[in-house]
Chain A
Amino acid sequence: MTQYYLQQLINGLMLGSLYALVAIGFSMIYGIVRLINFAHGDVVMIGAFATLALVGAGTPWLLVAPVVLLTGVLAGITIERAVFRPIRGAPQVTGFIATLALSVMIENGGVMLLSPQPRNFLFPDVMRTRVPIGPATVSLTDLVIIATTLILVGVLVLVVRRTRPGMAMRATAENLAVARLMGIDVNRTIMAAFALGSALAAIAGLLWGGRFGQIDPLMGFAPGLKAFVACVIGGVGSIPGAMIGGYLLGLGEVLFVGLLPPEYSGYRDAFVFATLILVLLVLPNGLLGRSEEERA
């Protein structure tokens, strides 16, 4: 029985890692432009299809990951330049509609160009090795997903906390106008936040596709929405909050399915969104979020 729980725990951590990767970028972008980027989930899809193309071309895996990362960077920069920059300073509703439109365009563009047919790519065989952990055995894939996430998030936190561009990013996120008065090139800083956040989402796409074995142009919708929920749970705009929210959501979802009788498993998404409503009712600013009044 402990074996079963341990197994579920690892599953939850794996899923939570994927949510966290997407949620952190979501949160970074919100933190700096104060707009929800509904197209963020679609960068996951872009990352997954970039992986598919690279693997199909016979690229060695050691090269696939950095190229997918770079694809995410480019996608983020393009989204910022094409959609966010022109509407900067516009009312939030404008941003809301614009990014929703962007998401619809990316998804349907994907359907047109790539066909709605699901495709798949496989991680190398070695990733399917079962690794014993105590009484349970888990696939190497799950461990790689968890480790990759922790490493990437660690690097990101170092960049944001300890580097000059990271400091500029935090200053810009807190007060854009004053950041400009201090000589920060906020265009470049905002672009950097989009680049970093989108790179994480693209890697999540690679991991998602390899883990679940199927990708399609609409696949970004679910992770995007769940990352949004993870952000709200953790406190929108907070990087540690997004991470905690991602893991809580992943664990909660897996445990919901794993512990309740099988006939309830169809309600997993209902569980996710019920959690969202509950969090909004009890903690409107999330676990680590600060209210706008406190920020000011």
Chain B
Amino acid sequence: MLEIADLHVRRGATHVLRGVSLTVAEGEIVTLIGPNGAGKTTLLLTISGLLPVLSGAVSCRIDGETRSLGDLRADRIVAAGIVQCPEGRQVFASLTVRENLLVGAYRRHARDDLRKDLERCFGLFPILAERQALSAGSLSGGEQMMLAIGRALMARPRLLLLDEPSLGLAPQVVETIFDTILQINRAGTTVLLVEQNAELALEVADRGYVMETGNIVHTGTGQALLDDPAVKQAYLGIAP
């Protein structure tokens, strides 16, 4: 579904991604873990078309159609079915909860579908139905995270990019969010999950990649990485 080959990306004067290659197959949950500053967010922003590709290839294959994302505008990438739920939630605080969800559905026009998607979203996160008319800025952190995921789902992603959904949330809330991610995946959405919480991410993921300073340094199934002594030491805080 997503194929990245030898990707280099620069942010300002910094050469952040130095030859990243990874693939995500349809139906998978793939996680990308690694320390702060490794380039995980940069990778997601590049996939979404917010940062230019310096060299290498980012392509997606959705419904038998292969496209090079490096040549597409951000809004076309969303239309192609790749939607990102950004780091730190970033809901539109001055818009209402309902408006945030409608912005997620911005690329779509059919009204009936919209109602159905809103219901699906409220089914996943009942609290959002109650808070519909409130401004998103008045929600708690956990509720904002739910709204951010709901907003991304409203775009009907085939591939959902999640940037650190556990960031700054209470453990119970994180658990709910991860349950929902599994639920979303089972319903047919492929997921690429960037996380600092490596243990949790590797538990839900089919496969994982470990990134350090702009390079992929380990890869394997979620379980294999959990068992890998190097990963254990570096990311799970367990001495070998």
Residues of A at under 8 Å CB distance from B? Answer: 164, 167-168, 170-171, 174-175, 177-186, 295
Contacts and interface: CB of A to CB of B under 8 A. Distances in A.
A265 B155 CA distance: 59
A187 to B, nearest CB: 8
B93 A179 contact: no
A15 B84 CA distance: 47
A117 B74 CA distance: 49
Contacts of B92: 170-171, 174-175, 178
Interface string B101-116: 0111011000000000
B106 A183 contact: yes
A234 to B, nearest CB: 16
B151 A182 contact: yes
Chain A to chain B: the 10 pairs with minimum beta-carbon distance, closest first = A183-B78, A180-B74, A183-B107, A185-B75, A183-B75, A178-B90, A171-B103, A181-B84, A174-B92, A171-B92
A186 B92 CA distance: 15
B94 A174 contact: yes
A50 B64 CA distance: 53
Interface in B62-102: 73-75, 78-79, 83-84, 86, 90, 92-95, 99, 102
A181 B83 contact: yes
Contacts of A183: 74-75, 78-79, 83, 106-107, 155
A286 B165 CA distance: 36
A174 B152 CA distance: 17
B83 A167 contact: no
B182 interface: no
B76 to A, nearest CB: 8
A182 B106 contact: yes
Contact of A182 (B49, B93, B94, B103): B103
A174 B96 CA distance: 13
B90 A175 contact: yes
A181 B94 contact: no
B50 interface: yes
A175 B107 CA distance: 17
Most buried by A among B78, B92, B99: B92
B189 interface: no
Contacts of A182: 78, 83, 103-104, 106, 151-152, 155
Contact of B103 (A177, A179, A186, A295): A179
B73 to A, nearest CB: 8
Nearest to A185: B75
12 contacts: A164-B102, A170-B92, A170-B95, A175-B90, A177-B50, A179-B103, A180-B50, A181-B48, A181-B78, A182-B151, A185-B73, A186-B75
B86 A184 contact: no
Interface in B29-67: 48-50
Contacts of A178: 86, 90, 92
A164 B152 CA distance: 17
Nearest to B49: A180
A171 B93 CA distance: 9
B147 to A, nearest CB: 12
B167 to A, nearest CB: 15
A171 B103 CA distance: 8
Contact of A180 (B75, B79, B93, B99): B75
Most buried by B among A168, A175, A183: A183
A240 to B, nearest CB: 13
Nearest to A181: B84
Nearest to A184: B106
Nearest to A296: B93
Nearest to A179: B103
B106 A168 contact: yes
Contacts of B78: 181-183
B77 to A, nearest CB: 8
B50 A170 contact: no
A151 to B, nearest CB: 25
Contacts of B155: 182-183
Contacts of A167: 95, 99, 102-103
A174 B75 CA distance: 17
